[in-house]
Chain A
Amino acid sequence: MPSTHDWINDPLGVVEGMFAASQSNPNSGWEARAVEFFKDRLKEKDAHTLVPSLNDIPMHYLKPNSLVKFRCFIQDMFDPEFYMGVYETVDPATQAKTLRCGKYKDVTECGVDFNSKNTVTAERQTFYCVPIPGENPWVKEISSACKRPHRIALYAAGIREMYANSSQARVVPSTSYVPSRQKRSYEEDDDMDTQPQKQREAHAGPQSPTEHHGNGDCKRQETEAPSSQTTSASHLDLNFPLPGEKGPSCLVKVYEDWDSFKLNDMLEVYGILSVSPALSALADEKDASSSLLDPTECMETAEEQRVHCPPASLVPRLHMLYAKQLQHNNPLLPSAATSEDNSAFLASTLSEMPSVREELLAYLTHVLLGDALAAEYLILHLISNVYVRRDVLPLGKFTLNMSGCPTVASYTERLYQIIQQLVPSSHYLGMSLQNMNQMRLVPKKDYVANRLVSGALQLAKNTSLYLDETQLEQGQLDTTGVRNVTALGNLISWQKVDYDFNYHQMEFPCNINVLIASEGRSLLPSDCQIHLQTQVAPSHLEEYLSTMHMLSQASSQLNKFRIYLSVARLLDYSISDEVTKSVEDDFVDMRKDDPQSISAEDLHRMLVVARLLSLSQGQTSLSRDSWLRAKHIEALRRSRMEQHKCVNGNEP
């Protein structure tokens, strides 16, 4: 059996070993066994932390053909491709034939016999994966640090040595320190590699230092040099859903069960990294000889070529051995690999939840300028989640419209920064006229390049989308603008985005928490509107905000909040028959008194509020108390709404 060291550094060796062993026994099912082998290995304690992550480590530090992991988001699915699963090579000198395995590889060995009868054609699928859009800096920081606790020291000493030692000649030490770049024969740009670090650095400013702060510092030092010479890879559009995103994108080759993956899934992929320069060279050569009338080549446009076969140094290939679907991307929680573990963890946090909730409520009240009711609703919004769909109706969504936001001192942006620190992924969308008229929100299929051009609404589940309507000024929306506003409206009402496939539209369900900050009532629909009642005089706002920011530095508390919010979302929930009955009675009574006061829609909302309220307290079933409390805060909110009824003409 190969040693631990081997299966990470030389997974292909393991695969080939199994392949060779299977030759005597054709029905051994070696492919399944190979996958099984890696799965078992990864199950071992902490084994998965040994695997280097593409998210954290610049690509040029990674050894080609080694096992890596990648926390990613499926942005596009390419067409399936056929490859040589098994092929035969002929040694030109000795004429000896060897049977070889083509699985998990991009490039064949020399001297392929194309007419061998032993050739087996197999099929695999390619996904274009990007890092999870809108993933907040703290997630990256923590996951790169805490998943490799024993490496922190090493990291500081220079991770480069560690990888360089174990790898072969190709891995050049950090290119930023190598003056003679032109020596290399192929295009192996490191521009992209250094960008994640750069970004991390950029975000590090307002960032609260984490417990693993020591490591962050060193990293920053290390990246200072390369950060000056980035930004030349822009000729290749890596198609990130959100503008300004950076990070490695990857072509993930999937060998089995590809139907189980869906667009916009979050995955942690364990696979074999392939950055063979041959791939880039092939692409180069194509450009030069594009005038050739070769039937196999004129079928692809140059754009398509560029998209589907980008240089491997920019977009590495990852041959998937094993992938797990991520329920969340909060690094502070155990990922849901083994459900028993997970439920134990959930149970342990349940008891603490009410107290954390109090703290969070106090904190948010402070942030929301002393408005406790708004803070309560904000918590409910942050833990909301579409848990089921009844025909077209998504249940559990809770889009919050926070009206009455002060427009001074860029309050809305400050508020976003607070939210950004609490949730794993989020995105700020300033709804300025320019943005609405120019941004591409809805993904669109580009048939020339044959890819899905991403848009800002292509987000992973449970991403917080923060719409800042205070940025909107008077003016005219053009066609794109109208389409964008409609798309946002659809997203909020139905939790779906209609991707534009030119000849038709395709509906992709999504699960995005939308928070709208506005002055008056928003022009977009929402499930719930709360008008902010500030306890702070506008003149003191500036001062107040500056002190507010200080509070967030307490990192352990922040981590508690982060865990709390993610856990509350993962809990199960039920309503007992008893409570059902009393809720029904309540509804009938309320209607009896004043039928205008409560409609079916109100009941819908109250049920959601009650659900979220229970979950926020760590209760997994609805109690009478929670129901009454839900009724109570709804009544408070409604009474507040009355006062602001006629703010603008957007009422239906």
Chain B
Amino acid sequence: MDPSTKSAMSSPASTPGGRKRGRNTNPPTPSSEDPTSPPSQRRRGQDSSTGDLMPMPTSPATDMLSPAAPQDTSLLSSPRPSVPPNEVDMSSPLMYGTPSSRIEGTPRSGVRGTPARQRPDLGSVRKAPQVDLHSEPPSTDGAVASESNAGQRLVIWGTDVNVGTCKEKFQRFLQRFVDPTSTEDENAGLDLNEPLYMQKLEEISVVGDPVMNVNCRHVQSFDADLYRQLICYPQEVIPTFDMAVNELFFERFPDSFLEYQIQVRPYNALKTKSMRSLNPEDIDQLITISGMVIRTSQLIPEMQEAFFQCQVCAYSTRVEVDRGRIAEPAVCRHCNTTHSLALIHNRSVFSDKQMIKIQESPEDMPAGQTPHTTIVYAHNDLVDKVQPGDRVNITGIYRAVPMRVNPRQSNVKSVYKTHIDAIHFRKTDEKRLHGLDEEAEQKLFTEDRVQTLKELAAKPDVYERLSSALAPSIYEHEDIKKGILLQLFGGTRKDFSQTGRGNFRAEVNILLCGDPGTSKSQLLQYVYNLVPRGQYTSGKGSSAVGLTAYVMKDPETRQLVLQTGALVLSDNGICCIDEFDKMSDNTRSVLHEVMEQQTLSIAKAGIICQLNARTAVLAAANPVESQWNPKKTTIENIQLPHTLLSRFDLIFLMLDPQDEAYDRRLAHHLVSLYYQTEEQMEEEFLDMAVLKDYIAYARTYINPRLSEEASQALIEAYVDMRKIGSGRGMVSAYPRQLESLIRLAEAHAKVRFSEKVETIDVEEAKRLHREALKQSATDPRTGFVDISILTTGMSATARKRKEEVAQALKKLIQAKGKTPAMKYQQLLDDLRGQSETAITKELFDEALRALADEDYLTITAETPEFVHLQLEPE
């Protein structure tokens, strides 16, 4: 015996539903009007009592329900002995409208053995009777009963939905709706000037997937009233839509075969809400909310139809589940034995169901509060459509169910349980896997906001404004802020995969290095807080695994699961890495791939894959000697491999400028930081929000391309850069630098909201790039900018000098004649005496090593003062 049957029957809330409302045609039944009915303020579905205890009777029902029979018919023809026949008809689920519509409306032959699939997502719809709007309430039943005069004025109880009109309207919508501006990818390949949904029907007939997704926005633009009904009474309207679609479908494609009848799944209800704004008014309405899946349950088989068999005469009967309850037939209809029916589990019909928990997306949350969660039920084929961690938009019906009555108690907990019956899932982050089209992200900006942003963009000094709005608490460092600003905007994504070059990096990487305590970390923190998809890690604490991805065994399922690290998580964002210099070499090597190819390859525990890591890297490094040594090159100061350094577009030094005017401004800035009033703070906070939106807007909508002049300017700039060095026999620019320039110029165009990269963008890119180079790639020995410091780790002059010394040393040794061994100190002294420039010990050592590499000599014993040099026989 099904336990729920028991509890339903023993329910103490035995107030019969029908009686109260004066529906005296209804025999008072010991009802199960227990608190499973929706607590909506509207009244609806009251006479469900009739269905509860009465088994779906007789043989016609039984064989109709066999899979081959169309469900509509079966329901229509189920007479209930206890109820006047005329009312029965009206209360059956798919029986809408006039008799004529019933005959024609049922896709006569069309259903052709196509069974209707139950829609548990809509709940129990079948008990909705219709009433005539124009008749007096007491005579409701009579009016409905008289089928002859029940015309267009019939509406479903508790709503203003007239089935006939509704169906007609929807069919018209399907046949006529055209959306020439559609950009949704679902519609790819469809002719936008033909009725959209008719094409989809055709698709269904070809593919055989009996699901029709309908964008509510389309419905709204076509018929606002229909849309309102859909939102307010989804439980009644969606089955009507189903019916309309099926009629249409089988009319057009009479020969096609479908597994089930087509189900309509509306999505994108415009009343899209955040979870926080859901309130009691939304109960039983169609809503769309977004959130993140945090937990999914196992599959729950939910009984849809119970199969009972009489123990005495083996007579069998079926009972449909109504709102989670099964009314056990008390008397066998065949042999009239009481309590002889037993449930046969494996002949009952079950449907799939899954509980999913959704949590507010972190972006929608007010500060200082914890995220809300909501329970969602997925039914049938929506089960297992989403996984924990997915960002989804869910369209469904919001439900509230009172807490169950405790049989031992007379009072009830006055709280409802709420959940959403999902009708449609749409993953919001699915896009990121496939392509770069971020339009579907639909970060909605209000018209006003866009207007403000555009006004801001039109200002000539927008670049300066934005850069000064960036981390206002950090003083000066204008160029660094500008660099970071450009990094926030990023370049334009270019796809060369067809020519085999793959993606071009569009992200700008920046390295900040300098004295400790120059607010590098603060800048990083600020950026991390500013961008929606930012990650902050410290080089000290993170391992290669923490940055990339690791494979883990799920304790429950014993499955291998790939857990992503900071770099992957910040895909499309910025990864801030503090204490870059303290990172182990192992970890750093991971960055090589990420910073140029923008992918991460993983081969671990049998999982081989390549993940996107299109992240911009903002790193901060401290000099090795805790204080920046201006006499050394960048490489020497921070001891990072040049292979990695050359992947940074901009390398900035943050040094203490040490000049009085600066000190004064700094002091003023800091002091004012400590006594500024609340209002000034407010203002600033607003700035940050504007900045955020500005960046989001530009990143989404602006994709600048190089103009003719701009490309000329870029070429010139590159040639110039190469020329600077060539005069002194050094290379001062590599193609990587040209790419950097392009990215920076594009980013600058984005700042201006310009679709075209123009000469001014290139100028600024050049300036900034030069500034950064001046700071980081200046050869301390010559004072010239030398890019080879960054690309090879050694400046060209230094290399030249080393060669010269080695040559001089070789000459000296040759001049000494054929001595088999020489003393280190003496040789050094000799060389020093000979050379006009100062020769350091390090230089000398390097020269010796160079000669040893040439196999010219061998260094035998090495003590600080005394080295024997063994000359190779020539």
Within 8 Å CB of B417, what residues of A?
Answer: 296, 299
Q: How many A-B residue pairs have CB under 8 A?
A: 249
Tell me the bound Cα distance from A112 to B35 in angstroms.
9
- Whether B366 sits at the interface, judged by CB under 8 Å, is yes
The reply to whether B681 and A388 contact each other, CB–CB distance below 8 Å, is yes
The reply to whether B413 and A278 contact each other, CB–CB distance below 8 Å, is yes
The reply to whether B375 and A299 contact each other, CB–CB distance below 8 Å, is yes
Tell me the bound Cα distance from A392 to B359 in angstroms.
26
The reply to whether B529 and A114 contact each other, CB–CB distance below 8 Å, is no
Within 8 Å CB of A105, what residues of B?
Answer: 414
The reply to whether B39 and A121 contact each other, CB–CB distance below 8 Å, is yes
Least CB distance from A495 to B in Å reads: 12
- B513-561 residues with Cβ-Cβ distance < 8 A to A are 516-519, 521-522, 525-526, 529, 538, 541
The reply to whether A298 and B300 contact each other, CB–CB distance below 8 Å, is yes
The reply to whether A84 and B39 contact each other, CB–CB distance below 8 Å, is yes
Taking a contact as CB atoms closer than 8 A, the residue among A79, A82, A114, A502 that contacts B374 in the complex is A79
Least CB distance from B37 to A in Å reads: 6
The reply to whether A282 and B413 contact each other, CB–CB distance below 8 Å, is yes
Tell me the bound Cα distance from A110 to B414 in angstroms.
11
- Please name the residue on chain A nearest to B673 by beta carbon: A390
The reply to whether B675 and A111 contact each other, CB–CB distance below 8 Å, is no
Q: Provided the pairs A113-B20, A115-B43, A115-B46 are in contact, do residues A391 and B688 lie with their beta carbons within 8 angstroms?
A: yes
- Whether A371 sits at the interface, judged by CB under 8 Å, is no
Taking a contact as CB atoms closer than 8 A, the residue among B283, B373, B412, B529 that contacts A392 in the complex is B529
Taking a contact as CB atoms closer than 8 A, the residue among A102, A282, A506, A651 that contacts B406 in the complex is A282
- Whether B473 sits at the interface, judged by CB under 8 Å, is yes
Tell me the bound Cα distance from A345 to B389 in angstroms.
53
Least CB distance from A303 to B in Å reads: 12
Range, interface on chain A = 35 or more
- Whether A168 sits at the interface, judged by CB under 8 Å, is no
The reply to whether B472 and A390 contact each other, CB–CB distance below 8 Å, is yes
Tell me the bound Cα distance from A595 to B362 in angstroms.
45
The reply to whether A293 and B4 contact each other, CB–CB distance below 8 Å, is yes
- B302-320 residues with Cβ-Cβ distance < 8 A to A are 302-303
Which stretch in B172-180, B254-262, B657-665 binds the other chain? B657-665
Tell me the bound Cα distance from A363 to B373 in angstroms.
52
The reply to whether B674 and A395 contact each other, CB–CB distance below 8 Å, is yes
Least CB distance from A459 to B in Å reads: 14
- A54-92 residues with Cβ-Cβ distance < 8 A to B are 76-77, 79-84, 87, 90, 92
- A101-141 residues with Cβ-Cβ distance < 8 A to B are 102, 105-115, 117, 119-123
Which stretch in A373-381, A463-471, A581-589 binds the other chain? A581-589
Which stretch in B215-223, B397-405, B605-613 binds the other chain? B397-405
Within 8 Å CB of A395, what residues of B?
Answer: 673-674
- Whether B471 sits at the interface, judged by CB under 8 Å, is yes
> Which interface residue of B35, B280, B283, B413 has the most chain A CB atoms within 10 A?
B413
Least CB distance from A423 to B in Å reads: 24
The reply to whether A112 and B412 contact each other, CB–CB distance below 8 Å, is yes
- Please name the residue on chain B nearest to A81 by beta carbon: B415
Taking a contact as CB atoms closer than 8 A, the residue among B370, B388, B411, B525 that contacts A109 in the complex is B411
The reply to whether A600 and B415 contact each other, CB–CB distance below 8 Å, is no
The reply to whether A83 and B406 contact each other, CB–CB distance below 8 Å, is no
Least CB distance from B353 to A in Å reads: 8
- Whether B603 sits at the interface, judged by CB under 8 Å, is no
Within 8 Å CB of B362, what residues of A?
Answer: 501, 504, 506
Q: Interface readout for B376-407 with A: 1 if CB under 8 Å, 0 if not?
A: 01000000000011000000000011111010
Which stretch in A169-177, A195-203, A231-239, A601-609 binds the other chain? A601-609
Tell me the bound Cα distance from A109 to B409 in angstroms.
10
- Whether B640 sits at the interface, judged by CB under 8 Å, is no
- Whether B72 sits at the interface, judged by CB under 8 Å, is no
- Whether A297 sits at the interface, judged by CB under 8 Å, is yes
Q: Provided the pairs A112-B412, A117-B43, A390-B681 are in contact, do residues A486 and B541 lie with their beta carbons within 8 angstroms?
A: yes
Taking a contact as CB atoms closer than 8 A, the residue among A119, A295, A600 that contacts B475 in the complex is A600
Least CB distance from A256 to B in Å reads: 13
- Whether A259 sits at the interface, judged by CB under 8 Å, is yes
Least CB distance from B32 to A in Å reads: 11
Within 8 Å CB of A110, what residues of B?
Answer: 410-411
Within 8 Å CB of A390, what residues of B?
Answer: 472-473, 673, 681, 684
Taking a contact as CB atoms closer than 8 A, the residue among B13, B294, B406, B684 that contacts A281 in the complex is B406
The reply to whether B416 and A580 contact each other, CB–CB distance below 8 Å, is no
Tell me the bound Cα distance from A281 to B656 in angstroms.
69
Least CB distance from B104 to A in Å reads: 35
Least CB distance from A624 to B in Å reads: 14
Q: Interface readout for A286-303 with B: 1 if CB under 8 Å, 0 if not?
A: 000101111111110000
Q: Provided the pairs A296-B36, A509-B368 are in contact, do residues A391 and B668 lie with their beta carbons within 8 angstroms?
A: no
- Whether A328 sits at the interface, judged by CB under 8 Å, is no
- Whether B592 sits at the interface, judged by CB under 8 Å, is no
Taking a contact as CB atoms closer than 8 A, the residue among B7, B372, B400 that contacts A79 in the complex is B372
- Whether B705 sits at the interface, judged by CB under 8 Å, is no
- Whether A482 sits at the interface, judged by CB under 8 Å, is yes
Tell me the bound Cα distance from A600 to B522 in angstroms.
13
The reply to whether A263 and B368 contact each other, CB–CB distance below 8 Å, is yes
Within 8 Å CB of B400, what residues of A?
Answer: 82, 121
Tell me the bound Cα distance from A76 to B370 in angstroms.
7
The reply to whether A607 and B674 contact each other, CB–CB distance below 8 Å, is yes
The reply to whether A120 and B41 contact each other, CB–CB distance below 8 Å, is yes
Within 8 Å CB of B365, what residues of A?
Answer: 506
- Whether A574 sits at the interface, judged by CB under 8 Å, is yes
Tell me the bound Cα distance from A82 to B416 in angstroms.
5
- Please name the residue on chain A nearest to B417 by beta carbon: A296
Q: Provided the pairs A296-B324, A391-B472, A588-B664 are in contact, do residues A575 and B674 lie with their beta carbons within 8 angstroms?
A: yes
Q: Provided the pairs A114-B37, A121-B41, A121-B283 are in contact, do residues A575 and B671 lie with their beta carbons within 8 angstroms?
A: yes
Within 8 Å CB of A282, what residues of B?
Answer: 403, 406, 409, 413
Tell me the bound Cα distance from A119 to B412 in angstroms.
14
- Whether B408 sits at the interface, judged by CB under 8 Å, is yes
- Whether A206 sits at the interface, judged by CB under 8 Å, is no
- B687-731 residues with Cβ-Cβ distance < 8 A to A are 688
Within 8 Å CB of B373, what residues of A?
Answer: 79, 450
- Whether A262 sits at the interface, judged by CB under 8 Å, is yes
Taking a contact as CB atoms closer than 8 A, the residue among A113, A294, A595 that contacts B656 in the complex is A595
Mind listing 6 A-B residue pairs with CB under 8 Å? Answer: A90-B20, A296-B403, A390-B684, A395-B674, A452-B370, A583-B667
Among all A-B residue pairs, the 4 with the closest Cβ atoms:
A262-B368, A587-B667, A121-B280, A584-B667
A-B contacts besides A83-B416, A108-B414, A259-B366, 16 pairs, CB < 8 Å: A121-B39, A121-B283, A262-B369, A263-B368, A281-B409, A295-B377, A298-B297, A299-B419, A388-B678, A390-B673, A390-B684, A393-B473, A482-B541, A486-B541, A509-B367, A599-B656
